[in-house]
Amino acid sequence: MTVEKVERKFKNTINTVTIGTGDNAVTVGGHTGLPFLYDEAELPHSPVIALDVFDTEPGRWTETLKEKIGKDVISDPVEWAKKAEEYDVDLVSLRFTQHAAEEDPASPEECAELAKAINDAVDKPLVIWGSGDEEPDNKLFPEVSQALAGEQCLIGSATEDNYKTLAATAIADGHNVIGESPIDINICKQVNILLSDMGFPTDKIVIFTTNGPLGYGIEYAYSIMERTRLASLGGDKMMAMPIIANIGPESQRAKEVKVTQEEEPSWGEQPEREIAWETSTGVAYLQAGADILTMSNPDAIEYMQSYIDRMTE
């Protein structure tokens, strides 16, 4: 019996978004089909990895990961960002949290100075995240955006309720924007429409549908991400944007990562679990359609780079 191979062709193309400027600029998107199906689609840009860097030491991270990166490094965001060169990642994902702290918060000006220092120290494009707290973020975004004007960073997140300040400042300073939605495909589209109605170019938007790690709703987040990609390829122009997924920070929240071997001997070595959790989560979202992964664990980053290389040969 002869088996005929069935190929699926789509009518739409995912927008390309370029982050950064010059030789190290990173372009994502441009696909005409589903991930890694090179026989039936044009997939001009491989998925990329961003190294997560926090403006202050993450309190809830495991001690094993902090030691892996370096305790002295993780307390210095500029030195931490320099690890991007060592790990050979494509982007630096800078996460601001201290400006939203209840005690001794950092000023927006201090955050802008840090962003500028990292941009000067590391020759990698920047992804800039706020805290998710609307009031302090609306003060943060204009300062950081202006400090990095012309660098074509990716800044987020713009939500359905809090998009105007970020959209306006990103237009003025020439940045890209992350459009965030709470695992809801309808809200995902609505955020993109709202940004577009403000005059923000649709080819400068990256979708963030929010996601959890392995074992924490990953199947639902996967399905939303996959449906988003299918809708965009099917012809919905307001969904035709590349997708970013949070891998490292989400994996660090998993109980299976946090529990030590002394607490649960049958679970095996904690460092190995950390790598496995972050890698498994990353692979899943790549298959769902993610174009950018933000990651934390150096060993997991190395595994994911190897996986992407094998899948894109």
What pLDDT, on a 0 to 100 scale, did the predictor assign at position 126? 98
Residue 2 forms part of a structural domain: no
The residue type at 83: K
Tokens of 205: 């938007």
Q: Output the pLDDT for position 6.
A: 78
Q: Is position 11 within any domain?
A: no
Instruction: Report d(CA 128, CA 60) in Å as an integer.
Output: 20
For residue 56, what pLDDT is reported? 95
The series of mean pLDDT values per 10 residues for the chain, 313 residues long, is 81 97 96 94 96 95 95 96 97 97 94 98 97 95 98 96 95 98 95 97 97 95 96 96 97 94 93 97 98 98 98 91
Tens digit of each residue's pLDDT (9 = 90 or more) over 27-64: 999 999 999 999 899 999 999 999 999 999 998 899 99
- Considering the domain boundaries, does residue 1 fall inside one? no
Question: Is 4 inside any structural domain?
Answer: no
Please give the single-letter amino acid code of residue 285. Y
Helix axis angle for 77-87 and 298-311, nearest 10°, is 30
pLDDT at position 1: 74
pLDDT value, residue 159: 95
Q: Give the pLDDT score at 176.
A: 98
- CA 101, 142, 29, 32: dihedral to nearest 10 degrees? 110
Among 211, 202, 203, CA closest to 249: 211
What's the number of domains the chain is made of?
1
Burial 154-163 (b: 16+ CB within 10 A, else e): bbbbbbbebb
Q: Show Cβ contacts of residue 111 under 8 Å, excluding neighbours closer than 6 positions.
A: 55, 96, 98, 99, 140, 143, 144
CATH number at residue 120: 3.20.20.20
Non-local (6+) Cβ contacts of 296 within 8 A are 51, 52, 61, 65, 69, 247, 248, 249, 251, 252, 278
Asked if residue 32 is part of any domain, the answer here is: yes
> For 59-86, what is each residue's pLDDT tens digit?
889 999 999 999 999 999 999 999 999 9
What are the structure tokens assigned to 9, written together? Answer: 């062709």
Q: Does residue 54 form part of some domain?
A: yes
The answer to whether position 60 is within a domain reads yes
- Report pLDDT for 70: 95
Range of the domain at 112: 16-311
- In order of 21, 155, 191, the CA distances from 205 in angstroms are 16, 10, 10
6 domain-assigned: no
Phi-psi group of 150: left, alpha or beta (phi > 0 → left; psi -120 to 50 → alpha; rest → beta): left
